[in-house]
Chains A and B, each alone.
Chain A
Amino acid sequence: MRHRTRVISVVVMLAAALALVPLATAEEKPQYGGVLTRFIYADPGRLDIHTETPFPVQIATAGIFSGLLHHDPADPAKITGDLAERWTGSADGKTYTFFLRKDVKWHDGEPFTVADVKATLDRLLHPDFRSPRCGAMLKPMVAGFNAVDRYTVEIRLNAPNSNFIPSIASAWCRIVAKHILEKHGDLSRPEAQIGTGPFRFKRYERGSVIEWEKNRDYFVPGVPYLDGVKHFILVSGPTQLAAAKAGRLMLWEAWPPLLRTQVDELQRTRGTEIEVFTAPVNTVAMVQLNTQKPPFNNRDLRRAVYLGIDRQEIITKAMDGSAMPCALLDPKVVGDFALPLEEIQKLPGCRQPKDQDIAEAKRLVEKHYPNGVDIEASIRSVTDYVDRAQLVVSQLRRIGIRATLKTYESAAGYSIYGKGDFTLIATQDTGMVTNDPSDVFMLLFRTGAGRNYGKWSDRKVDDLVEQGIREQNQDKRKQIYHELQRYLLTQDTPGVIVGWIEGAFFAEKRVRNYRPGPTVFDNNTFMKVWLAR
């Protein structure tokens, strides 16, 4: 019995991917050779895919490692076997068996066996091991695992969980080598980047460039087509654009998305050579309220902010128009788990024009603070955020909340948020790790969730989230998520979802067979990408 991901989201993702990205026609034969050039927006520093969380780390090591499962590079909506040639699940949904490939070698020639899977899982699931991406997803799910034989591993769950397979297929849950872990202790250093993936880690010049080279012994025959991939490390925005305009970048498919002005400039310089496409980046922008302190420990004030914020204005003016407003789930990503947009756009908070909602918001504020209330609006000093924050401040003024902007350094701002030293976060983006509908609720709305900075807690939401994870039946699952969304859109909420971010990106026309994955982390191994002459 093979498991597949939900049919609807498959169709939607397929449609989206096919519609948005240049396709190689069926007749075109892939050509071998060439080095793909792209950039990473920050220096990764440490390269341990299990312990690190920043996106640059994942980009830097993506092509080096393989997972038990992955999103098929030719068809990213589908989860297929990577190191596991097939897998089965028990009827009660609590036990999964993975049958490993027998012909795989690590980049240093050592054979891949179940011992490596065991070492990886031992590491990730160890209670003292810090793995905020993969480990945090798997630890609550997994009860135990064991190696059945040299090429078979069995993983047992605490309870059936629809997010298990997507998590195992996640780009963060890569299998690493036992002998490398023993030799180096951790995977932070370039020397420890020994994987089973389509590319070898060639070199890391800190602050400058990361290079991969083709793995000629890759276990999938005939790939990769590329000779290598070169990632420039470009921190400065103008330099990124200049590199694109000067033809140094063949692909710009990851953070940060291109601005409209940048797209215009690019098309003017390289219009004939490139193809611009938009793709959802599975990241949500949210205004967060601290529910432990006044004024937002008061439900009415939370509702007032929810009604008063003009999401569309923020998106048009400060987010380049590239976001889908209001929704808690993005239909482009999760299919019809998301409430239909027409329904959401009629609800208070989202509906335009906003006169009614603003009036109601003012009334709610005046009820408790007849003379208005003064608060501090916190923001991390990232270019985009600062613009959005200024709009949020002026919108709050309309409903009687006088906010002064307080900026924090980009990195240190997180510790302020984590400690709860804020009243209102004017905007913070959170990227989803899988494309399962449970992600956004697990990250932002559940009691004790890591990005639930405002420490909001609602029993009903927790129950619904829990049910949604456990439910195996797809239709019943959809009902649960619809109920959850309606509750959060009409009742209480710890903040305001401004929108799901989409980005403009580009690929040179000669880059073939690239398709964006369901999340930004997926499908950046470039395993099946090729360059046309």
Chain B
Amino acid sequence: MNLRGLARAARRRPLGALGGFVVLGLVLVACLAPQLASHPPKDAAFPRHVAPGTQFRMGTDHLGRDVLSRVIWGARLSLYVGFTSVAVGITLGLLWGIFTAYAGGLADGITQRIVDVLMAIPPIILALALMAVLGPSIDNVVYAIVILLAPTAARTIRSVVLGIKTTLYIEAALALGCSHARVVIRHVLPNVLPMYVVLLTVNVGYAIMAEAALSFLGLGAPPDEPSWGGMLSAATRAIETAPWVMLFPGMAISLAVFGFCLLGDAFRDVTDPRLRQGLG
């Protein structure tokens, strides 16, 4: 994909391009957090509830911390959680789905029941119980979201693989004596990849939102960490007198989810073979 191809793709899908820009921006902010943020995010050194102005562009919160710095560092936390949990979770789902669909029979039956069990338990309770067992920390939030994401991904991948399994390609390859591993790598994987990529992009938004919700309920990252959800939770006590404490992290979450969803949409549109043909 050279630059000209990219530009052409962008023009054809302007919303997707917008999403891409937003995501890129967020990634840059997250990577450059130490340089961009003027104050350490946990430093409660300033007067509380200062309105946004020249000294504090996004004001200060109820403990006297710079909101802008916390929002910037919050990008790092949210993207870390979003990317890691999705990468691990969806990949787990990929391997799981391929295995179970390919193996079939009893193995398939058992793993399907496990997926059913995990999906039947309401996600909030699963997350609550997991966080209560593991304890509040950023990595534990990642694990909890992984457990929420993996089963659904596994089921989706499984149905794609089932669809492929019955095609002639596979039967022919096996008839020709290819090993199962080879078949998986050369025939199954490439066909599953588009769905895998779609799942990755589409779920990052969900993961970021899940982390925000968990932190809002007090179950996510420890309270002094600059988590956007955690900031929202603390902000609810002063909505009118200090609206900036709620506004900026809220906008940040929305922007992040927005960007990832648009990007994910574009990916999905691109990989859907029927739409690729365009309108008549």
Q: Which residues of A contact B (CB under 8 A)?
A: 237-238, 259, 261-262, 264-265, 268, 317-318, 381, 383, 386-387, 389-391, 393-394, 405-407, 409, 412
Which of A262, A268, A387 sits near B63, CB closer than 8 Å?
A: A387
Taking A259-B237, A259-B238, A387-B234 as known contacts, 16 extra A-B pairs with beta carbons closer than 8 A to each other, sorted by chain A number, are A238-B236, A238-B239, A261-B237, A262-B237, A265-B241, A317-B48, A317-B64, A318-B63, A387-B223, A389-B223, A390-B223, A391-B63, A405-B222, A405-B224, A406-B135, A407-B222
21 CB-based A-B contacts, threshold 8 Å: A237-B236, A238-B237, A261-B238, A261-B240, A264-B241, A317-B64, A383-B233, A383-B234, A386-B218, A386-B223, A390-B42, A390-B224, A393-B224, A394-B44, A405-B222, A406-B135, A406-B222, A407-B218, A407-B222, A409-B132, A412-B132
B17 within 8 A of A: no
Q: Considering the complex, give the chain B residue whose CB is closest to the CB of A382.
A: B218
Q: How many A-B residue pairs have CB under 8 A?
A: 59
Q: Is B138 an interface residue (CB 8 A)?
A: no
Chain B residue numbers with a CB within 8 Å of A268 are 240
B280 to chain A minimum Cβ distance, whole angstroms, is 52
CA distance A271 to B157 in the complex (A): 60
Question: Nearest chain B CB to A423's CB is how many angstroms away?
Answer: 15
CB distance from B70 to the nearest CB of A (A): 13
User: Is B49's beta carbon under 8 Å from chain A?
Assistant: yes
Which single residue of chain B is at the shortest CB-CB distance from A242?
B239
CB pair B63 A261 closer than 8 Å? no
Query: Which B positions have Cβ atoms within 8 angstroms of A?
Result: 42, 44, 48-49, 62-64, 132, 135-136, 218, 222-224, 233-234, 236-242
Contacting residues, chain B, for A265 (C-beta < 8 A): 240-241
CB distance from B235 to the nearest CB of A (A): 10
Closest 8 pairs (CB-CB, A-B) = A261-B241, A261-B238, A386-B223, A381-B218, A265-B240, A390-B224, A407-B136, A238-B236
Chain A residues with CB below 8 A from B218, complex form: 381, 386, 407
Q: Is the CB of A237 within 8 A of B237?
A: yes
Contacts of B236 in A (CB 8 A): 237-238
Q: Which residue of A lies closest to B217 (CB)?
A: A381
Across the interface, which residues of B come within 8 angstroms of A407, CB to CB? 136, 218, 222-223
**Cβ–Cβ < 8 Å partners of B223 in chain A:** 381, 386-387, 389-390, 405, 407
CB distance from B214 to the nearest CB of A (A): 12
The answer to whether B222 touches A391, judged by C-beta atoms less than 8 angstroms apart, is no
Give A256 Cβ to nearest chain B Cβ, in Å: 10
Chain B residue numbers with a CB within 8 Å of A262 are 237-238
Alpha-carbon gap, A238 to B233, bound state (A) = 11
A387 to B136, CA, bound (A): 16
Q: Roughly how many angstroms separate A268 CA and B240 CA in the complex, as a whole number?
A: 11
